[in-house]
Every structure is written in C-alpha cells, then in structure tokens.
Chains A and B, each alone.
Chain A
Amino acid sequence: MRTQRGGWYGTLVAVLVLAVGLLLSACATSPDVGQAQPGGVGAAAGASPPGAGPGAAAEPPRVSEAPVRPPGVVAERPVTPVRPAAPGPATPAGGPLEDVFFDFDKAVLRDDAKASLNRDISWLKSNAGVKVVIEGHADERGTNEYNLALGDRRSKAVQEYLVAAGIAAGRIRLISYGEERPFVLGHDESAWRWNRRGHFIVQP
C-alpha cells in the first residue's frame, strides 16, 4: 500500500541501495589484515629498561602484576601505616621536636600549636646547626591534589613561625605529603585530628 510519503521513502531506499553498492564495491577486495600488538601498551613500555632517562635513579625492574582477581578470592593485605600509629601529641619515641596539629582545612597555628613550637624553638636554639625537615600533612577528607597544597601551606606556616623567632631559614627544608602518609589509619575524627599535622624530622 502506498503511503503519503511514498515518494520520499522511495528516494531514500534508492540512495541506500546506491550507497550500499558503493560500499560493496569498496569491500569487494579481501578483508583487511591488521596486526595486533601483543600485550598492548604495557608490554611496549616493559620492553625497555626502566629509569632509562638521564640522571634517573635505578628502579627495580618492572613487574607485571597478576591479573585482576575475581571477587571472593583472597584479598590483598590491608595497607599498614608507614609509621607506627601513635595517637597523642608526642612524636615517635626519641624525637626531640613536638609535632603541631591543625583544624580541618586550616593552616592557621592554634594556641596549643604555638606552645609546642615555642618549645621546639628553644630546642633548636640550643642545638644550633641542626637541620630539620618540616612535613605538612592533611587528613583523608578532601581531594588528593588539594590536600598536597594544604599540607604545603601547613609546613610553610610552621616555617614562618620558626623563622620569625630567629631560626635560620637555611636550617629548614619543607615537604608536603598531603593525605598520602597518614599517621593514624581511620575514617573518623579520632584519626583525622592526628593526621592534620606539621611533623618534624631532625636531619642526622
């Protein structure tokens, strides 16, 4: 039965047949042969020795991880903290310098932080020439990249306070770890408060 739009359909079908005919003539030759790269990108990268750039430190050879396991098989070991979990304001045993702690998303020194730093400054003045690294840390909330900047800001706040009190800037090096090196594992404030931290490392 002819439809009202029969003329339009007819033209479209004719063009369709024509286009398919064009395609068939293009495909009349044998199918294309393509080479697949074995192992894809990863294998290509693994073919050269790692760390081959100029001045690169030696790296262990690249190891292919086992394929992703289906659920139900033995899980990976849980991540353990880099440092032993030490809830409380004290630094790991033996450290002469007290760490300082911050409020969420802040790099402002609280009064308790200033009190700790005042004691740290006394120690540093009594041990002239000793160098320190000030690490800036953030709790796991917030995005990883933003927390790197927050940790950086905290380390600078501590440095500023020390330098203003007369500690030579050349004795201080800064590094931020953001949320990547928590001191206390946990997903609530009882852990977070210890990770919002300015941490001292005395250089040997």
Chain B
Amino acid sequence: MVRVRGRALRAAGAGLLVLLGGAAADAQRYQVEIQKEVFQRIPLAIAGFAPLPDTNPGADLATVVRSVLAADLDFTGLFELIDPTFLPGDTRQLKPGDQAGVLPTLALFKVQGLLVGTLERRGTELALEGHVYDAERGTTIVARRYLGEATAIRQIAHRLADEIVFRYTGERGVAQTRIAYVAARDGVRELYGMDYDGHNPVLLTGNRSINLSPRWSPDGHLLAYTSYRDGNPDLFVLNFQTGGRTKLSAVPGLNISPAWSPDGEWVALSLSKDGGTNVYLMHKDGSGLRALTTGSGISVSPTFSPTGRQIAFTSDRGGTPQVYAIDLEGTNLRRLTFQGDYNSSPRWSPRGDKIAFVSNMSGRFQITLMNPDGSAVQTLTSEGGNEDPAWSRDGRHLVFSSTRTGRREIFVMRADGSAPRQLTRTGGNFAPDWSP
C-alpha cells in the first residue's frame, strides 16, 4: 500500500484533473478553480539554465531566461519557487535527463515539481528547452522547446511560463500579454504598449496630440482609442495585424470611452452629439449606431458583462457620478453604488462575479470591488490615489494607475488587492488596459 502525503495528494489531485483533461482531447475540460484562500501553492524548484558559453557573465541570456520564468511563475500566485540549494553540486548544470538523480531528494523536501531548462544557440537563434517533472512520480508534466531570435528572449521565456501554467491549471497564463496605457509628456498624451511585466514599452500613437482610453479588442488584434489628432476627440481603431488605423466614430463632440463586447462584434462608446453625453452601441465597423442611454446628463465609461448582455457605466443622473447597469436592450436600468459621492470607471471582471470601479474616499480615489448587484463592496487600495482599474483576461489580476510614489504610474495587483507591483517609472502614466 503506497503511503501518500495528504497535501501532496490534494495538489496532485488537482494536477490529476488537469492531466485527465489534457490527455483526452474530446473529454470535458476540467476547471480547477484556484482561490488564494484554499489553494496550497505548489513548491516548484528551478534548476539548469547553465550560462551560455562565449558570453560575458554580466549579459548571460540563460540567467535572463531563468529570472523571467521565475518572475512569471511567481506572479501567478500558484507556485512557491524554490532554489534547490540543498541539492549537491551546481544545480545550474542540471539538464533534462538528469532529473532522476535529484527528484527523490526534492520529494523528501516536499518540493512537488522541478523545472529544468537549457538555453542553446542555434545559429542566430536561441533554443529554450524546458521540462517540468513531478517530484513524487518522477514523471514529465511539461516538455517544450522554443526557438526565437535573441531579441525575443523574454517572449520565449514567457511562452514557456504560460505553458507551465496551462499544464497545472488548464488555463492560459498571462505572461505573453501586453498592457496599453497613456503617457503624458509635455502636454501631449501618447499611447504605449508594454509587456505585462513592464518591459519593452513601444509607442503606439505618434501624432503629438491627446490620445486617451486605449481598449484592446477581445481577440487582441485591434486597439480602440480616442484621439484629438484631427482637432476633435474622435474614436480610432488601430489594427495590429495591418498597422493601419481607421476612424470608427467622428461625430461632432465627444467620441470617447470605448468598450468591446466579449464577442468583439459591438463597440459601446459615449457620444455628446445629442445634447447630453450618452452611451451608444455600434457594430465593430461603425454601422448600426443606437443610443443605449438618453437624456441631458452624463453617461460614460461603459463596460460589458462577460455574457455580453449587460453594460455597467458611470452616470450622474442621480445627482453625482455613480455606477449603473443596464441590459443591452435598454431595459432594467439600475443603480449599483450607493456609498460615497463619486463612484466611476466600472470594469466587469471576465469571470463575471465582480465589478471593479473607483470610489472617492476622503478626496482620493481607491480601487474597489463589488458584486454585480452592488453588494459586498470591498476596497482594495489605500495608498495614494488609485484609478483606471482593468482586469487581466483570467480575472486574477488588476492593472491600474496610482500616485502612491508621488507620480502617476501603472501598477498591477492580485484581484484581492495583494502583491502590488510597479510597472512604469517615468511618471504621468494612466488609463491602462490589459490585452487578451
């Protein structure tokens, strides 16, 4: 009778569900719902990644890959990363194939998984090979090799990290996602895109005017935004596949605060052409415009529920800015926020169970969560002023802007408000949106 440790079994049981799901392609995929309060983080040791020959130690790409992988895996909150210093010898020299000798020792130290990787040059390209072994069973959970240019070294590591997350949870990781945001410089506002960890910022606009409210389409191929490029706040769509930009809405007045429906077919936005500023809907090609709200008040910042059947938005129809929800047919308008005099910028979680928004508390905004019926209000931030929340596609993290360092910077944190991490350091950065 094999004696198994209870904790390892529970995690292995979770792994079991995923393995079953992965092995039988047409079977129902099991969802492992991981919540911080109940899940035991998986102790995972990282070894290998010996320095490439003929590189200076200061610029060692294998070390870069290892640290990117560790940061990606740590970010998920699913793993407890272990540096296996208790193993004999130099663990950097471990290669896939050597694991049989060390796994029993790891299992003895209650380490459940071992990631062993190598980085090699193949001509002008780099080859990253990563294996993850189950320390108890000695079996292989992940075995992947990636090729890429040296300039894409971080992306190569991100891909492996996402694969590891997928094998353990059945969900796609976020290591390859990007964050678009607004950077204010010298009176202009340009859009940038950076990796989810703050690296590789790239200018997305360049018109030296005011550009605002970047919003990724659900497939990640398009970015909607408002730009004053042509002398009026018009709605544009940048197509990443073609590099082209189209004007989606340019009626007189405001064409602002775009939001995509979950199926990518509809865009909600706010227009001021009819007196007040109201939320409108249109097809992704700009046709079929119809008003969702009417009146002389202000209704802005729409966000779709993940079913696509409801929209939450900010409105002052009750006297002060508050969060409301309405069905897509225009019925069942209801107010969601009742605490405080300024509640705005709602963002519906991709999981459907929470709406993030900002709430004015003692003169500063804080990121707040509530259920879609307005109950269970929970403040997530307290330091400085915090605005512009946006969800990661897996609903586990929020990106937002914060003035806690003295300047407005982009931060990420877990959906429960823990582990805040600063992404930008140049000041004047706000309005982030997280790519799918």
CB of B240 within 8 A of CB of A45, answer yes
Interface assignment of B247: CB less than 8 Å from any CB of chain A: yes
> Nearest Cβ in chain A — how far from B176, in angstroms?
8
Selected from B141, B200, B243, B247, the residue in CB contact (under 8 A) with A47 is B243
The 0/1 profile, CB within 8 Å of A marked 1, for residues 326-347 of chain B is: 0000000000000000101100
Please measure, in the bound complex, the distance between the C-alpha atom of A59 and the C-alpha atom of B243, giving whole angstroms: 13
CB of B23 within 8 A of CB of A57, answer no
**From B256, which residue of chain A is reached at the shortest CB distance?**
A148
Q: Restricting to A26-77, which residues have a CB under 8 Å from any CB of B?
A: 26-27, 31-57, 59-65, 67-71, 75-77
A64: B residues at CB distance < 8 A: 202-203
> Nearest Cβ in chain B — how far from A124, in angstroms?
21
B20: A residues at CB distance < 8 A: 19
> Nearest Cβ in chain A — how far from B331, in angstroms?
24
Selected from A24, A146, A177, the residue in CB contact (under 8 A) with B344 is A146
CB of A40 within 8 A of CB of B428, answer no
Interface assignment of B424: CB less than 8 Å from any CB of chain A: yes
A43: B residues at CB distance < 8 A: 202
Residues of A within 8 A of B (CB-CB), count: 82
> Nearest Cβ in chain A — how far from B70, in angstroms?
18
**From B226, which residue of chain A is reached at the shortest CB distance?**
A148
B144: A residues at CB distance < 8 A: 31-32, 34
A68 in contact with B426 given A39-B152, A143-B301, A180-B189 (CB within 8 Å): yes
Contact segment of B34-42, B47-55, B78-86, B229-237 = B229-237
CB of B148 within 8 A of CB of A69, answer no
Interface assignment of B147: CB less than 8 Å from any CB of chain A: yes
CB of B186 within 8 A of CB of A77, answer yes
CB of B201 within 8 A of CB of A68, answer yes
Interface assignment of B308: CB less than 8 Å from any CB of chain A: no
A176: B residues at CB distance < 8 A: 233, 253-254, 272
A45 in contact with B238 given A36-B148, A40-B195 (CB within 8 Å): yes
CB of B229 within 8 A of CB of A76, answer no
CB of A26 within 8 A of CB of B358, answer no
**From A177, which residue of chain B is reached at the shortest CB distance?**
B210
A78: B residues at CB distance < 8 A: 427
Contact segment of B11-19, B87-95, B107-115, B372-380 = B11-19
> Nearest Cβ in chain B — how far from A23, in angstroms?
5
Interface assignment of A16: CB less than 8 Å from any CB of chain B: yes
> Nearest Cβ in chain A — how far from B399, in angstroms?
15
Interface assignment of B145: CB less than 8 Å from any CB of chain A: yes
B137: A residues at CB distance < 8 A: 16, 20
Interface assignment of A82: CB less than 8 Å from any CB of chain B: yes
Contact segment of A5-13, A85-93, A163-171 = A5-13
Please measure, in the bound complex, the distance between the C-alpha atom of A31 and the C-alpha atom of B131, giving whole angstroms: 9
CB of B242 within 8 A of CB of A48, answer yes
Instruction: Name 10 interchain pairs, CB-CB below 8 A, sorted by A.
Output: A20-B134, A23-B22, A36-B152, A53-B245, A68-B426, A71-B425, A80-B187, A144-B431, A145-B212, A146-B321
- Please list the 9 inter-chain residue pairs (A to B) with the smallest Cβ-Cβ separation, ordered nearest first: A48-B243, A42-B202, A36-B148, A82-B187, A149-B277, A22-B23, A38-B152, A149-B298, A38-B149
Apart from A57-B229, A65-B201: 11 A-B pairs, beta carbons within 8 A: A6-B1, A35-B146, A35-B148, A36-B146, A39-B200, A44-B241, A63-B203, A68-B198, A145-B257, A174-B252, A176-B254
